[in-house]
Structure 1
Amino acid sequence: MKFNKYNQKNLNLVQILSIGFILIILIGGLLLWLPISSSQNNYTNFIDAIFTSTSAVCVTGLTTLNTSQHWSGFGKVIIALLIEIGSLGFASFFVIFSQLLGKKITLKNKLLVQESMNTFSVENIVEDIKSILLFSFSLQLLGGIILATQLIPEYGVKQGLFNSIFHSISAFCNSGIDLFESSLINYNKNIVIIFVISLLIFIGSIGFPVILEILRNKDNKRLSIHSKLSLITTLILIVTGALLILLFEYNNELTLGKMEFEEKTLSSFFSSISLRTAGFYNINLIDMTNSSKFLVMILMFIGGSPGSTAGGLKTVTVSIIFLTLVSVVRGREDTECFGRRFTRDLIYKAFTIFFLGISLVILSTIILVYAYKEVDFLSIFFEVTAALSTAGSTLNLTPGLGNFGKIIIMILMYIGRLGPLTVILSLRKNDRNEKYKYPKGKILIG
């Protein structure tokens, strides 16, 4: 009784969400630590088990162990379940199970789901969850069936079907964890696998609010400004990223140099789609030019759209910042787009998230560069950006880090999944609204 009283009065929704993710990570880590999860039937190093659980729940894709070789079938199933729970939100599953058990869905539960899924309102939230889960599972199943036509001939029925479902889940959830030795490099010429994985990543990254709006837009109504910004920004990032990767890697003999033009184009588009949010790769990232690596870092930092399975600052956040800069240059008082203006609170939030993201990347890079002086700076910078962006693209630095480095990366993945601003709000005490304002101060800028 005392706990419930404390929980209701002292824990806000953001704090409940933050603690919930920690608990799921710990439970997943404990399960992966057990011998049953290891292919050798041995206890896994606890830090590595927690790291894998964190990466799965935060749908990042960075790993310290070879997923295919180290984990048993049970361990791989646990990883897949953690990816699902982490991407679709534990609050969503909680609400559905509560309803199946006949329990009342309280307003606080609905608000928790709203915070977890990053949706606009709690109206019809339970029906929205059902639609999202049904769509997600159906699409993952369909993706798995199509992938199975390519993988069963190679691995056999049982292993081929398992690999297909696992990679369909990992792709839609933008996780990037794979069961192959070198991601999709060996399937670089397989149009079916590359197309299916790309499509799953794309749909997962545009956000559930956008998906629901498209599914329910039967009367050809105009899309909301949020959906327009999400889709347009995503397409711009994909096309621009593909063209630049094609340019930077066109003559690189270690990546695209030896390919035919059609294969170069396909690989460039897949890299632009996947490396931005998921982490699957069909050309070796380590062999990429520094220009491409830096481009991938920018794409990862931006990430997917709000309410999606992808991480990063989010496409709409970056769009708002860009539109604000355009408005300032043009001498406009308001940030405008598609005949609408945005509130100052929204603009302040976008710039705050951007500043926090940049600050975390810089601070973490400085710490790891100091702790691992023998490691290349760009590799650390890249890994830190990937962790905070929950993108999973890697230069293979993570397995070689000591426990200290792995803990830093885990913290970044956790912050990236919840969002830097969400984490800070969860640590802040509930302040009373101040009923006074200070006099205006004048300073010089620029």
Structure 2
Amino acid sequence: MKFRLHIAKFLSPPLILVGGFMLIITIGTILLMLPISNQSGEHLAFIDALFTSTSAACVTGLVVVDVGTTFNLFGQIVIMVLMQLGGLGFMTIATLFALVLGKRISLKDRLLLKEAINADSMEGIVRIIRKVLIFSFTIEGVAAVILALRWATEMPFWQAVYYGAFHSVSLFNNGGFDLFGNSFQYYTGDWLFNVTASVLVVSGGLGFVVLNDLFEFRKRRRLSLQSKLVLSVSGALIGIGAIVLFVFEFTNGHTLASLSWSEKIYASFFQSVSTRSSGTSTIDITQMRQATQFFFILLMFIGASPGSTGGGIKTTTFLIMIGAVYAMIRGNKDIVFFRQRVPKELLMRALTIIMVSLIIFMVVVMLLLTTEDAPFLSLMFEAASAIGTVGLSVGVTHELTVWGKVIIAFTMFIGRIGPLTIAYALRPRKEKKLYRHPEGRIIIG
């Protein structure tokens, strides 16, 4: 019998993805509301449970209640499972169970998997998913052991094991949740933690297609254009972000000034990595200079790479627009990377994603300015963190009104699913036109 997810024929893959995430968030909300999830033994308020479930399933990390002190072991495990489901995607996890049970994957399910990981074709999609699952669980497991051994020196062994597993899942899936209450500010100068956490965040943010490409590099001895672009722009953004943070915060007594040189470097690098979509920190974000916070808004808006556990407009979208600007300035008709031309359709898609995301971002900021009593830059930072599913905050999240929580929760959902996916899910069936309008001339610039 073929493996099927009981998908109605009239439902498109984008609509299935939207509905799947809504189902995960709903189940998470119900579980987190239950008294068995909370240390107080009482029901958690619906809006707080919804916000936390959305933040976990959309792997963001913004919180309105402290995870370590509000939720007990059961509640924290619910959050960890939500992050794993939200990071890898419910279709990927469903495929895992199908493979374990020896079921076949139908053609429509393969189409849905292609949409879920942003692959360019269905060729070898199940093989890619299998390798991604192996890679993901392996790196999470190895990192969990490393972190557990590190924390076993300062807490009971089994607590260290649990902390290692929870934070390994959180970091790899760019979840942004932690059990320490102040993210990882205790480990600013800890090289072992910084290296392990950075590898987790970067690996989760590269994208499943790129992970598969790297997985097979020893066999093929070459990388696809997608992988070359993702690795190049990700490395450049991390490097630029680290340099900007180091320069702007070097004399700030609340962030880097009091740290040693090695701690300054660790903190600058880790915080730049974190803006890719991780949402964790080793220094106090609220004490950063406004110039640094604004630059972080730009990095969070760009986000991680396509088909990854992170959000944002994606690194390749940003790079295509930079390539378009460069080509226009140079008088070239084509956008070329590594001697390969980018199709015009991708440029239109990239422009659409950026414009839709900017419109959503501006609307969210305007709504927050209406409902919340906080500085403009702080609300702008919060909106960028939500739409980029990053999870960094300058202290506004805990003070949100009910309407503010609803706005941010909805923004996190849009940021994780992607504005275009939601648009495709809601649009009517496309009818092919049998004609084209005549070309017109417009003066711009």
Do both proteins adopt the same fold according to a TM-score greater than 0.5, normalized to the shorter chain?
yes
Give the whole-Å Cα distance in 2 for the aligned partners of 1:130 and 1:375. Answer: 46
Give the conservation status (yes or no) of the 8 Å contact 2:381–2:393: yes
Q: Does 1:326 align with 2:326?
A: yes
- Counterpart code for 1:424: A
1:85 corresponds to 2:46: no
- Secondary structure of the structure 2 residue equivalent to 1:230: helix
Tell me what 1:371 maps to. Answer: 371
- Gaps (5+ residues) in structure 2? none
State the shift of 1:155 in Å: 1.8
Cα distance, 1:220 vs. partner?
Answer: 5.4
Question: Retained in 2: the 8 A contact 1:286–1:395?
Answer: yes
Q: The residue matched to 1:175 in structure 2 has which SS?
A: coil
1:160 aligns with 2:160: yes
After superposition, what is the alpha-carbon deviation per residue over 1:364-383, rounded to whole angstroms, capped at 9, x for unaligned?
101110222x3111111000
Contact 1:302 1:312 in 2 (8 A): yes
1:395 and 2:405 correspond: no
Q: Distance in 2 between matches of 1:220 and 1:105?
A: 27
Structure-2 residue corresponding to 1:444? 443
Contact 1:276 1:296 in 2 (8 A): no
What is the CA-CA distance between 1:223 and the residue it aligns to? 1.1
Find the counterpart in structure 1 of residue 289 from structure 2. 289
| Structure 2 letter corresponding to 1:301 | F
Deviations 1:203-238 (A, max 9, x none): 111111111111111245221111110000000001
1:58 CA drift (Å)? 0.5
Measure, in 2, the Cα distance between the counterparts of 1:243 and 1:103. 50
Q: Which runs of 4+ in 1 moved over 3 A?
A: 6-9, 99-104
Alignment of 1:22-421 (within 5 A): 22-219=22-219, 221-372=221-372, 374-421=373-420
C-alpha contact (below 8 Å) 1:275/1:281 kept by paired residues: no
Q: 1:193, 1:240 → 2: CA distance? A: 22
Q: What is the match of residue 421 of structure 2?
A: 422
Q: State how far apart, in whole Å, the 1-side matches of 2:187 and 2:96 are.
A: 38
Q: Alignment partner of 1:322: what SS?
A: helix
Cα deviation digits, residues 91-117 of structure 1 (max 9, x gap) = 112123234344431111111111111
Q: In 2, distance between residues paired with 1:226 and 1:9?
A: 32
Deviation per CA, 1:280-299: give whole Å up to 9, x if none. 10110010001110111111
Unaligned 5+ segments in structure 1 are none
With normalisation by structure 2, the TM-score equals 0.97
CA deviation profile, 1:20-53 (whole Å, cap 9, x unmatched): 1101100111111111110111111111111111
- Equivalent-residue separation in structure 2 for 1:217 and 1:314 (angstroms): 23
Q: 1:354 is paired with a residue of what secondary structure?
A: helix
Q: Is the 8 A contact 1:38 1:71 kept in 2?
A: yes
2:153 aligns to what SS in structure 1? helix
Counterpart code for 1:432: E
The separation in 2 between residues aligned to 1:169 and 1:219, in whole angstroms, is 29
Shift in Å at residue 72 of structure 1?
Answer: 0.7
- The answer as to whether partners of 2:128 and 2:209 remain within 8 angstroms in 1 is no
String of CA shifts for 1:268-287, please: whole Å, max 9, x gaps: 11110113310110110010
Displacement, 1:334? Answer: 1.2
Give CA deviations for 1:102-133 in whole Å, capped at 9, x if unaligned.
44311111111111111122222222212111
State how many pairs are aligned.
441
Q: Report the residue type matching 1:311 in the other structure.
A: G
| Aligned-residue identity in percent | 38
Q: Secondary structure at the match of 1:433?
A: coil
Contact 2:205/2:276 (CA < 8 Å) preserved in 1?
no
- 1:46 maps to a residue whose letter is F
* Preserved CA contact (<8 Å) 1:62 1:398: yes
Q: What TM-score comes out, normalization by structure 1 length? A: 0.97
Distance, in Å, in 2 between the alignment partners of 1:284 and 1:134 is 35
SS at 1:393 equivalent: coil
Cα distance in structure 1, aligned partners of 2:61 and 2:434: 46
Q: Hey, what's the Cα distance between the residues in 2 that align with 1:147 and 1:102? A: 34
**Residue type at the aligned position of 2:415:** G
Paired amino acid for 1:365: V
- Are 1:361 and 1:388, in contact at CA under 8 Å, matched by a contact in 2? yes
1:7 Cα deviation (Å)? 5.5
How far residue 400 of structure 1 moved from its aligned partner, in angstroms, is: 1.0
Distance 1:437 1:224 in 2: 35
Q: Is the 8 A contact 1:176 1:280 kept in 2?
A: yes
Q: Which amino acid aligns with 1:40?
A: S
| Distance in 1 separating the partners of 2:128 and 2:337 | 27
Name which of structure 1's ranges 192-201 and 211-220 shifts more when overlaid on structure 2.
Answer: 211-220
1:390-435 C-alpha deviation (Å, 9 max, x unpaired): 0111112112111111111011111100111111111101121111
Alpha-carbon shift at residue 191 of structure 1 (Å): 1.2
Residue 329 of structure 1 and its aligned partner are, at CA, apart by 0.8
Q: What amino acid sits opposite 1:357 in the alignment? A: S
Take 1:240 and 1:83, find their aligned partners in 2: how far apart are those partners? 29
- More displaced, 259-268 or 90-99? 90-99
Shift, 1:348, TM fit: 0.2
